[in-house]
Amino acid sequence: MKELQYDAAVIGGGAAGMAAALEIDGAGFSCALIEREDYLGGILMQCIHNGFGLHEFQEELTGPEFAERFIQKTARARIAVYLNTTVTELRPETRGDYKELYCVSPAGVLHIRARAVILAMGCRERNRGNVRIPGSRPAGVYTAGLAQRLVNIEGYIPGKEAVIIGSGDIGLIMARRMSWIGCKVKGVVEIMPYPAGLTRNIVQCLEDFDIPLYLSSQTTAIFGNHRVEGVEVTPMENGVLIPDKRFRIDCDTVLLSVGLVPENELSKSAGVELGPTGGPLVDSYLMTGIDGVFACGNVLHVHDLVDWVAEESHRAGGYAVRWLKGARPGRQIRAKAGSNLRYVIPNRIDPQEDTKVYLRSLIVKNDAILELRIDNRIVKTVKKGHIQPSEMISLALTAKDFEETTADSALEFSIK
Q: Which residues bind ligand FAD (CB under 6 A)?
A: 11-17, 34-37, 42-44, 47, 49, 51-52, 63, 86-87, 120-122, 145, 148, 169-170, 173, 263, 266, 297-298, 303, 305-307, 309
**65 CB neighbour count, 10 Å cutoff:** 16
Q: Angle CA(180)–CA(164)–CA(129) in degrees, nearest 5? A: 135
Name the CA radius of gyration of the chain, rounded.
22
Asked if residues 363 and 416 have their Cβ atoms less than 8 Å apart, the reply is no
303 in Cβ contact with 311 (< 8 Å): no
Beta carbon of residue 365, minimum distance to ligand FAD (angstroms, whole number): 24
Residue 234 or 253 having the CB closest to ligand FAD: 253
Reduced DSSP (H G I as helix, E B as strand, rest coil) percent helix, strand, coil of the chain, to 5: 25, 40, 35
Cβ-based nearer residue to ligand FAD, 148 or 217: 148
Which of 324, 325, 343 has the alpha carbon at shortest distance from 118? 324
Q: Strand 230-237 to strand 240-241: parallel, antiparallel, or no bridges (unpaired)?
A: antiparallel
CB of 88 to ligand FAD, least distance (A): 7
Sign of CA dihedral 308, 122, 61, 392: negative
Taking the complex as a whole, the smallest distance from the CB of residue 369 to ligand FAD amounts, in Å, to 27
Q: State in angstroms the smallest separation of the CB of 176 from ligand FAD.
A: 11
- Which of 70, 402 has the CB closer to ligand FAD? 70
Q: Among residues 47 and 163, whose Cβ is nearest to ligand FAD?
A: 47
Least Å distance, CB 397 to ligand FAD, is 23
CB of 198 to ligand FAD, least distance (A): 8
Give every CB contact of residue 379 below 8 A, 6+ residues apart in sequence. 372, 373, 401
Query: Which residues does residue 112 pair with via DSSP β-bridges, in sequence order?
Result: 4, 101
Q: C-beta of 16: minimal distance to ligand FAD in Å?
A: 3
CA 377 and chain centroid, separation: 32
Nearer to ligand FAD, 186 or 303 (CB): 303
Which is nearer to ligand FAD, 151 or 374 (by Cβ)? Answer: 151
Between 120 and 270, whose beta carbon lies closer to ligand FAD? 120
**Helices 63-76 & 306-324 angle (0-180, nearest 10):** 20
